[in-house]
Amino acid sequence: MTRKQLLISTALIALVALVLILVPDQPKASYYADKGQVFGTYYAIQYESTADLHDSIRAAFAAFDASMSMFNPSSTLSRINAGVDSVADAYFIAMYRTAEDVHLRSGGAFDITVAPLVNLWGFGLKNRAHVEPAQVEQLLPHVGMNKVRLHVTGDGLQVSGYVEKTDPYVQLDAGAIAKGQSCDVIAALLARNGCENYLVDIGGEVVAKGCNAQGNPWRIGITRPVDDATGELSEVQSVLKTTDIALATSGNYRNFYYDGVEKRSHTIDPRTGYPVQHGLLSATVRSSSCMRADALATACMVLGEEGAIKMIEADSVSACYLILAEQVDDSTTMKVVCSSRWKEE
């Protein structure tokens, strides 16, 4: 080795040593658990990250609430309902497009213009009271997605739109779809921040990706639909060990009341104006997004077993797990019916 080569090699070694000293260690990723209350329900988020994303998660919840909340009078949805504004933001536009799609797929069983009926039956902004058939008849003419039109221009971040109501009494209720959509919003936030392993659970609607802290698939419980208005009972019917999934469940075992002997559940059939009453206790749907799964699960609850299976089989990106009440002799048991794609991962 010449003197010149020796000098170059020594300089290179010194440079590498200097770089090693100066460049700090890469921050280590670890699993975070973020839990709390949001949108009148619980949330439980687990994610692997190099940083705590709690503040970003809370900010995303606030931005979503400002668009979709029915209880925040200045939200996009409330302003459209009150008729003080017609401007639709990106969250609203995404929600509306999915609602329209599921409305068509369900033959009108899913309908976000059901809001006046939801209020009448005491599941929305108004308190419950005994309902007379005449009150239902009075509201039904103001229910129907054909009485609303969303006009959209642009796409992606540039999307904008406005809502046109051909009937000023039309009111929108995003309660059957927004919780699932909020799971997608948080999952997208985590993905943007480099997370590859996470489980987002908002009031039972779930998006899961990658693996848990033990390196295993996520475990997601499907609740046994036992009547429980307190929401405190939580027996598990089945545990899925799965990943890369968006899942939502609808049921009539938590949000209901009795008017005499009549059980009034929060799923309303917009075609009749009455709360649904049939043997379908809960519907869990897997789909291409949690927003879509949420809307489809509610649609299943309106349609009942046969209609639900038909709608889900016709949708190549979805599958469902239905729990039904079955009368055997004098006792009622539970029966599970799945669509053909349910088992396929």
Interface residues with Mg ion (CB under 5 A) are 176, 250, 294, 297-298
Nearer to ligand AMP, 93 or 118 (CB): 118
Is 175 a residue that touches ligand AMP (CB under 6 A)? yes
Half-sphere exposure of 38 (CA within 13 A, CB side): 29
CB-side neighbour CA atoms (13 Å) of 225? 25
Using CB distances below 5 to 8 A depending on partner kind, what does residue 267 bind out of ligand AMP, Mg ion, none? ligand AMP
Measured from the CB atom, the residue of 70 and 195 that comes closer to ligand AMP is 70
| Alpha carbon distance 311, 339 (integer Å) | 10
What is the rounded distance in angstroms from the CA atom of residue 296 to the CA atom of residue 215? 31
Give the count of residues interacting with ligand AMP (CB under 6 A): 19
In whole angstroms, the minimum distance from the beta carbon of 174 to Mg ion comes to: 10
Residue 322's nearest CA partner among 289, 291, 278, 290 is: 278
Which H or E element spans position 291?
A: helix 290-313
Which positions ≥6 away from 133 have C-beta within 8 Å? Answer: none
Contact 80, 88 (CB under 8 A): yes
- Comparing CB distances to Mg ion, the nearer of 122 and 203 is 203
Binder of residue 204, out of Mg ion, ligand AMP, none (CB less than 5 to 8 A by kind): none
Which lies closer to ligand AMP via its Cβ, residue 114 or residue 320? 114
Residue with Cβ nearer ligand AMP (48 or 179): 179
Of 294, 321, 322, 339, which lies in the binding site for ligand AMP, with binding defined by CB under 6 A? 294
Q: Which stretch binds ligand AMP (CB under 6 A): 32-40, 74-82, 125-133, 169-177?
A: 169-177
Q: Under 8 Å CB-to-CB from 254, ≥6 apart: which residues? A: 228, 229, 231
| Residue of 284, 298, 318, 339 that binds ligand AMP (CB under 6 A) | 298
**Residue 264 makes contact with ligand AMP by CB under 6 A:** no
Q: Provide the greatest CA pair distance for the chain.
A: 103
Residue with smaller CB distance to ligand AMP, 53 or 183: 183
Cβ closer to ligand AMP: 53 or 114?
114
Cβ closest to ligand AMP, residue 176 vs residue 311: 176
> Please, what is the end-to-end C-alpha distance for the chain in angstroms?
61
Identify the CA nearest to 204 among candidates 309, 257, 283, 118. 283
Interface region with ligand AMP, contact rule CB under 6 A, candidates 11-19, 160-168, 229-237, 262-270: 262-270
280 φ, ψ (degrees, to nearest 5)? -80, 115
**Could you give the angle at the alpha carbon of 289 between the alpha carbons of 163 and 174, nearest 5°?**
35
The span of 38-46, 112-120, 190-198, 309-317 binding ligand AMP (CB under 6 A) equals 112-120
> Are the C-beta atoms of residues 247 and 238 closer than 8 Å to each other?
no
The span from the CA of 334 to the CA of 9, in Å, is: 76
Give the range of 57-65, 183-191, 267-275, 337-345 binding ligand AMP by CB under 6 A.
Answer: 267-275
What is the Cα 168 distance to its own chain's centre? 28
**For residues 113 and 212, which CB has a smaller minimum distance to ligand AMP in the complex?**
113
The verdict on 75 binding ligand AMP (CB under 6 A) reads: no
CB 161 within 8 A of CB 150: yes
Query: Which residue type sits at 211?
Result: C
Minimum CB–partner distance for residue 176 and Mg ion (Å): 4
Q: How far is the CB of 52 from ligand AMP (least distance, A)?
A: 30
- Pick out residues in 122-141 that bind ligand AMP (CB under 6 A): 123
Summarize as ranges the residues that interact with ligand AMP (CB under 6 A): 109-112, 114, 118, 123, 173, 175-176, 250, 266-268, 270, 294, 298, 301-302
